[in-house]
């Protein structure tokens, strides 16, 4: 049975509403879209399933999509990232009350188990009286993945087998798929997938999954890659991490960052913002990298580029920012300094080998001690470089998941306004013309293969324009002669698609 919502505490709605009102003043892009499109209702008829961190900033996004005509069902894309007062405010809605909520359904609370997380995802995908959503707004690709896996099992006539899972989370996913088959039959996911016209994807990991499927010919519907819009990748990944990484470490540990040696694993946009964050507190920052161009950029910023294996015992703070798996292993953590801080700000939850630590705990080699929620000491029993020659400890934040959302409040509103303005534009584009980017392969198997596309440069520039007034910025205008000299339109776009900002 589909539930209307499930959150931690609906009585937090008034607190959440006050913070939403503050955030709206810092999210000029979304508020401008409300003003521009309120009358035309471009999302009327859209049934959007959202899987994205349920924060105050996301609440402004949800209410923007709703104001433009969409029906919404929402989950968080991370077990620790929900702000419970934000979830409560969305459920109560504008003009609603705790006794008579009027907002869209939300299935999210801070501190979900993996079983609860995937249950929530299923609830948000299950539309009352219909086969499901016709659009997905995803962050990390979990909702998109669940629909695809469910359809593929039905097509193959197979039942998911949790015993074949390679890790704990995969076992939970397969259990959900098996339960759905048992309770809802062998034609649940395919009709749902057939109704989905497209997905807009927020982050690097989810985009990578989409491109893999597109290349393999298994992508069922078109996708807009929001992550690689300049006004998303720079604002969110660089400027957002610049703000929120040290915020999370300070809230978690109260450790002085100045003078500490910090290693950022990965120097893409997230790594660049994270390095800025720690350097702003005068930490001594180094980088580990696989990409020679990113490594050279780090060198040109005055940062040492080192191998983690060579220098693991020399650093006080470790932060992964790669989007890859097995970056910091249990063996690495066994060789770290006493009380080294270990955290992740990349997307994957397996950049840090938490499964390896848990296995060591089961064998009695390490003890997990909760200092406070999302802050744990892991005390090694068989090492000798701790106090007095005893076992050392490390501090792991947010259990290896996104530290800025697990231990703080994520990126600030103005940064997320740029990201979420892109998301709203992407959803409007999909709702009005998804078939431009390919057909749903279940409804038109011989049609145009679905593509993964980015928003055009003109819309990227529009997102930037919508935020300039907040900074009091005044753009210079080209003359006709200048525009002709450069060979570009007077009103833009001003850079070619291949330009690197």
The residues annotated with a catalytic role in the active site are 53, 76, 81, 139, 202, 227, 232, 236-237, 241, 347, 411, 419, 423
Number of neighbours of residue 324 by Cβ within 10 angstroms: 16
Written as six digits, the tokens of 290 are 């696989």
Distances (CA, A) of 38 to 105, 198, 464: 22, 23, 20
Residue 432 burial by Cβ neighbours in a 10 Å radius (0-12, 13-18, 19+): exposed
Q: Which residue has the tokens 């927020």?
A: 202
Q: Which residue has the tokens 């300094």?
A: 337
Contact 154, 186 (CB under 8 A): yes
CA distance 371 to 386: 18
Contact 139, 201 (CB under 8 A): yes
Distances (CA, A) of 251 to 8, 235, 262, 372, 478: 22, 23, 17, 11, 47
CA angle 148, 153, 158 (to 5 degrees): 175
Contact partners, residue 404, CB within 8 Å, separation at least 6: 240, 241, 244, 245, 247, 248, 345, 410, 411
**What are the start-end ranges of the H helices in 164-290?**
168-184, 189-195, 204-216, 230-232, 241-253, 269-279
CA distance 434 to 421: 18
CA distance 208 to 349: 15
């Amino acid at each position: 049975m589909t539930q209307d919502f499930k959150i931690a505490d609906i009585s937090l709605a008034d607190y959440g509403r006050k913070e939403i009102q503050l955030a709206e003043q810092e999210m000029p892009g979304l508020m401008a879209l409300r003003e521009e499109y309120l009358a035309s209702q471009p999302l009327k008829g859209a049934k959007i399933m959202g899987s994205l961190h349920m924060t105050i900033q996301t609440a402004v996004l949800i209410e923007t999509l709703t104001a433009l005509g969409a029906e919404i069902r929402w989950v968080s894309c991370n077990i620790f990232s929900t702000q419970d007062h934000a979830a409560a405010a969305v459920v109560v809605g504008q003009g609603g009350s705790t006794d008579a909520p009027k907002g869209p359904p939300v299935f999210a609370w801070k501190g979900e188990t993996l079983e609860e997380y995937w249950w929530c995802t299923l609830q948000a995908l299950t539309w009352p009286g219909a086969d499901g959503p016709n659009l997905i707004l995803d962050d990390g690709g979990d909702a998109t993945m669940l629909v695809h896996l469910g359809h593929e099992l039905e097509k193959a006539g197979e039942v998911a087998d949790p015993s074949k899972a390679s890790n704990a989370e995969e076992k939970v996913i397969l259990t959900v798929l098996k339960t759905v088959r048992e309770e809802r039959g062998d034609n649940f996911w395919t009709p749902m997938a057939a109704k989905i016209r497209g997905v807009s994807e927020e982050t690097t990991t989810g985009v990578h999954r989409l491109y893999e499927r597109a290349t393999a010919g298994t992508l069922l519907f078109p996708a807009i890659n929001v992550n690689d819009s300049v006004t998303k990748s720079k604002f969110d990944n660089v400027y957002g991490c610049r703000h929120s990484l040290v915020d999370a470490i300070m809230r978690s540990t109260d450790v002085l960052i100045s003078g500490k040696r910090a290693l950022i694993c990965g120097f893409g946009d997230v790594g660049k913002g994270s390095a800025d964050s720690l350097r702003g507190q005068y930490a001594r920052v180094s980088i580990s990298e696989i990409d020679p161009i990113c490594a050279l950029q780090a060198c040109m910023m005055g940062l040492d580029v080192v191998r983690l294996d060579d220098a693991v015992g020399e650093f006080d703070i470790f932060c992964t920012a790669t989007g890859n798996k097995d970056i910091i292993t249990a063996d690495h953590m066994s060789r770290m300094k006493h009380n080294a801080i270990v955290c992740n700000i990349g997307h994957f939850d397996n950049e840090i080998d938490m499964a390896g630590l848990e296995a060591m705990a089961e064998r009695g080699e390490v003890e997990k001690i909760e200092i406070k929620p999302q802050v744990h000491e892991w005390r090694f029993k068989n090492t000798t470089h701790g106090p007095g020659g005893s076992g050392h400890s490390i501090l792991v934040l947010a259990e290896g998941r996104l530290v800025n959302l697990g231990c703080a409040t994520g990126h600030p509103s103005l940064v997320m306004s740029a990201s979420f303005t892109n998301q709203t534009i992407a959803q409007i584009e999909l709702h009005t013309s998804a078939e431009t980017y390919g057909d749903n392969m279940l409804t038109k198997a011989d049609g145009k293969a679905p593509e993964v596309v980015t928003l055009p440069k003109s819309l990227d520039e529009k997102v930037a324009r919508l935020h300039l007034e907040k900074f009091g910025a005044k753009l210079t205008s080209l003359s006709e002669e200048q525009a002709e000299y450069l060979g570009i339109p007077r009103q833009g776009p001003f850079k070619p698609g291949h330009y690197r900002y």
